[in-house]
């Protein structure tokens, strides 16, 4: 009781001097709450340990200042995350301090809270940009990209398991909420400290503002980074421009999509140069230019392509190759698929939704309209309803549930490529007395995270896929692989080799005089494999047994063999549809064959 009485008789706290900032700072921040007993106990502790109290108060203020500076100076790319980025003067912080100093108390409190939330949003968007640059080699689109988090969660669940994926999601949610709370508390605390020490804060703000102007005028830099920073404002302005561009792009794209040179082409004028052929359009996941030209990987992949060219030549096939520039990198395969098939540039989700809900004639759809082919899709990566199959003009789509696979899942890549091709042979290509076949086949074994990787086995050993149980157990754990970028690159290369060998072996074994294969990559792999400046080119090759098929593209200038060299032609991916339909349409002076021919 005596302690309680003494505490109530302490000197008037409202007369605390600036040097006694520990006590005043605590009360101003409302840490003691509304309970008198709680307030007395708290002040008593500070009175008994003034040095420790001052240390705690100044530490809290220092951490708040560091958090705000971190938010204002944080770059939006991992490659720029260097100490030099944080040794700068942010003009936004200087201006914000000046505003808070002149505002009345209530307005200052509101502005401080809003500023804290705004800095939380800015930090979150910068972190998202880092992630998108690291995976998709582009910034996060605040209008269109939210839908991708569902795909990211599915990828995580397939790669590391359901329990670990749930843990990661919960951790991310907690971190985001903590970010907003801590950022808001930090700005509120700094605003109170500045007002309590207004004279010092005013002089400091003036000095920093003068220093910022001088550094900006003189172009002062530290480690190549300008000391006078306005990066936060620039990023806000850049994001606003991106939002406006995304909204405007919808109208621009609608006009582009309305123009289609082949919309009204009669069925008997489509693909006359391929009548009676089995045409296979095959995408190899993440098969990029780096796989065939990066010196850290190219030797082994090029050897597979050279040997494959030789093997196919012995089987009577010839081949030519070049490069296409994909609209995406690191991921977003569906954007590349729709670009290739529609003949339109599809770099974002908005365009994808627009085009797949339209009646645009796709390359695969042209085969269906011609009436001379059965059309089918082999989609081992599709696990849910896929209404886009109608847009692509596919009579039947075999997703992961319809291929008969009873083996283990290889990380995200549920079904090994060799098994997918074997299922295609069993379900479609190997059927007797069938129509000519046009198929879109997606090979997914080279999909990130590239571990564990299947291996080639005898085609007659595949069965229902149960044989892959031991193969998966002998493979590598993706979580261990991703600890070392060099190991990631090695496993990526091995996955590409496996996918290529599966496809080459399939054509060698099951191909015939009517087989025409077009295979390509959908996009480059993530920058962990390629580096930051690898570009977006992917290899493409056409393989055919009939010399007349290859003669149709003799004017394209493509190089012989499955491997395009450094000087091979490079086309934008959206130009391929029209070039292909033109090359294999009626030739000048020729009489097109009937659909049944």
Mean of the pLDDT values across residues 294-312?
A: 97
* DSSP code for 410: B
Q: How much is the pLDDT for 45?
A: 67
Q: How much is the pLDDT for 222?
A: 84
Is 375 in a helix, a strand, or coil?
A: strand
Q: Residue 12: pLDDT band by 50, 70, 90 thresholds?
A: very low
Of the candidate CATH numbers 3.40.720.10, 2.60.40.1180, 3.40.50.2300, 1.20.1630.10, the domain formed by 281-584 belongs to 3.40.720.10
Q: How much is the pLDDT for 159?
A: 67
Number of Cβ within a 10 Å radius of residue 502: 22
Number of Cβ within a 10 Å radius of residue 176: 14
Percentage with pLDDT > 90 across the chain:
67
Sorted by sequence, the CB contacts under 8 Å of residue 560 that are 6+ apart come out as 318, 319, 320
Q: What are the residues facing 226 on neighbouring strands?
A: 221
Q: How much is the pLDDT for 595?
A: 39
Tokens of 177: 């909420």
Q: Residue 302: pLDDT band by 50, 70, 90 thresholds?
A: very high
Alpha-carbon distance of 124 to 180, in angstroms, equals 9
* Cβ atoms of residues 322 and 221 within 8 Å: no
Tokens of 477: 């754990």
- The segment with the largest mean pLDDT, out of 3-17, 472-486, 508-522, is 508-522
Tokens of 570: 């490079």
Task: Share the mean pLDDT of the chain.
Answer: 88
User: Which phi-psi region, left, alpha or beta, contains residue 433 (left: φ > 0; alpha: ψ -120 to 50)?
Assistant: left
Residues 556-583 as b/e (b if ≥16 CB within 10 A, e otherwise) read: eebbebbbbeeebeebebbebbeebbeb
Strand duo 89-90 + 537-544: pairing = unpaired
Tokens of 359: 């009646």
Q: Residue 588: pLDDT band by 50, 70, 90 thresholds?
A: low
Query: How far from the centroid of its chain's Cα atoms is residue 504's Cα?
Result: 29
Mean of the pLDDT values across residues 234-249?
A: 85
Alpha-carbon distance of 191 to 182, in angstroms, equals 14
Alpha-carbon distance of 338 to 47, in angstroms, equals 70
Q: Is the pLDDT of residue 386 over 80?
A: yes
Start-end ranges of CATH 3.40.720.10 in the chain?
Answer: 281-584
Which among 89, 61, 94, 22 has a CA at the least distance from the CA of 186? 61
Which among 333, 320, 309 has a CA at the least distance from the CA of 569? 320
């Amino acid at each position: 009781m005596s302690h309680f009485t003494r505490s109530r008789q302490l000197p008037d706290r409202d007369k605390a001097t600036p040097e006694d900032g520990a006590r005043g700072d605590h009360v101003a921040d409302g840490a003691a709450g509304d309970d008198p007993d709680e307030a007395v106990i708290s002040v008593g502790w500070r009175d008994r340990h003034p040095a420790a109290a001052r240390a705690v108060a100044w530490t809290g203020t220092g951490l708040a200042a560091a958090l705000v500076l971190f938010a204002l100076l944080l770059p939006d790319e991992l490659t720029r995350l260097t100490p030099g980025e944080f040794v700068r003067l942010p003009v936004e912080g200087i201006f914000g301090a000046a505003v808070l100093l002149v505002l009345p108390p209530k307005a200052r409190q509101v502005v401080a809270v809003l500023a804290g939330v705004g800095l939380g949003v800015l930090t979150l968007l910068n972190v998202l940009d880092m992630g998108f640059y690291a995976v998709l080699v582009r910034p996060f689109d605040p209008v269109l990209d939210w839908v991708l988090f569902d795909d990211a969660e599915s990828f995580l669940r397939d790669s590391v398991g359901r329990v670990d994926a749930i843990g990661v999601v919960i951790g991310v949610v907690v971190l985001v909420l903590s970010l907003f709370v801590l950022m808001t508390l930090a700005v509120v605390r700094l605003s109170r400290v500045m007002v309590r020490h207004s004279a010092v804060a005013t002089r400091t703000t003036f000095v920093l503002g003068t220093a910022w102007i001088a550094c900006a005028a003189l172009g002062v830099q530290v480690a190549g980074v300008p000391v006078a920073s306005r990066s936060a404002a620039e990023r806000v302005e850049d994001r606003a421009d991106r939002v406006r561009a995304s909204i405007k792009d919808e109208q621009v794209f609608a006009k582009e999509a309305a123009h289609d040179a082949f919309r009204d082409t009669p069925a008997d004028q489509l693909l006359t140069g391929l009548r009676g052929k089995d045409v296979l359009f095959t995408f190899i996941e993440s098969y990029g230019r780096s796989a065939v030209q990066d010196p850290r990987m190219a030797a082994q992949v090029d050897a597979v392509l050279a040997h494959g060219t030789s093997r196919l030549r012995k089987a009577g096939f010839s081949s030519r190759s070049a490069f296409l520039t994909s609209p995406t990198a690191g991921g977003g395969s569906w954007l590349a698929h729709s670009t290739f098939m529609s003949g339109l540039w599809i770099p974002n989700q908005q365009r994808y939704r627009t085009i797949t809900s339209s009646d645009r004639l796709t390359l695969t759809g042209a085969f269906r309209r011609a009436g001379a082919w059965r059309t089918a899709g082999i989609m081992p990566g599709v696990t849910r309803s896929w209404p886009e199959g109608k847009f692509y003009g596919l009579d039947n789509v075999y997703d992961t549930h319809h291929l008969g696979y009873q083996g283990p899942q290889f990380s995200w890549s549920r079904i090994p490529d060799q098994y997918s091709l074997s299922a295609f042979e069993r379900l479609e290509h190997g059927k007797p007395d069938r129509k000519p076949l046009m198929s879109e086949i997606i090979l997914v074994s080279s999909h990130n995270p590239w571990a564990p990787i299947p291996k080639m086995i005898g085609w007659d050993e595949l069965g229902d896929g149960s044989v892959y149980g031991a193969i998966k157990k002998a493979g590598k754990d993706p979580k261990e692989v991703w600890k070392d970028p060099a190991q990631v690159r090695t496993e990526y290369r091995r996955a590409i080799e496996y996918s290529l060998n599966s496809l080459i072996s399939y054509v060698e074994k099951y191909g015939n005089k009517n087989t025409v294969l077009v295979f390509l990559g959908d996009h480059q792999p993530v920058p962990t494999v390629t580096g930051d400046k690898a570009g977006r080119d992917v290899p493409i090759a056409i393989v055919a047994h009939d010399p007349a098929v290859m003669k149709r593209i003799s004017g394209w200038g493509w190089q012989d063999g499955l491997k395009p060299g450094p000087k091979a032609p490079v086309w934008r991916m959206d130009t391929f549809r029209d070039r292909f339909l033109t090359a294999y349409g009626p030739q000048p002076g020729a009489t097109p064959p009937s659909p049944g021919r």
